Amino acid sequence: MAAASKYNIIIADESKRVNHLGENNQAVPIEVLPFALSLVVNKITMLGCIPVVREGKGKLGPIITDNGNFIIDAYFGLISDPQELSIKVKSIPGVVETGFFINLTDIAYIATENRLEKLEK
């Protein structure tokens, strides 16, 4: 959706704001076709990732997206080159989309305890 949009606004709380992607042990979500889950897990592990399939709360099994896919929370640690890593991850068969959002955000609103901060390109 973000790539097809003319204008992208991201809304997040202050826990999502970092200087470098992967800081504070934040995961990058990766949407994966169910039949490719084990392949994607193996490939991203080889890229230095600790993959965790997102589990549902109050139910057994993984979260299923509106498109019938799974979400992997990918813990890469500090990511020095997000664009290069994004390309590598997206080239893995079975990866539908990622949460890298490289060069796709026009405005970000970050909510803090006391205010709302607006960040623009």
> pLDDT digit string (tens) for 47-81?
999 999 999 887 788 999 999 999 999 999 999 99
Domains assigned to the chain: 19-103 (3.30.70.260)
d(CA 27, CA 74): 5
> pLDDT digit string (tens) for 86-120?
999 999 999 999 988 888 888 999 999 899 999 88
pLDDT for 2: 65
CA trace torsion 14, 20, 26, 31 (10° rounding)? 110
State pTM to two decimals: 0.84
In the three-class reduction of DSSP (H, G, I as helix; E, B as strand; rest coil), residue 82 is classed as helix
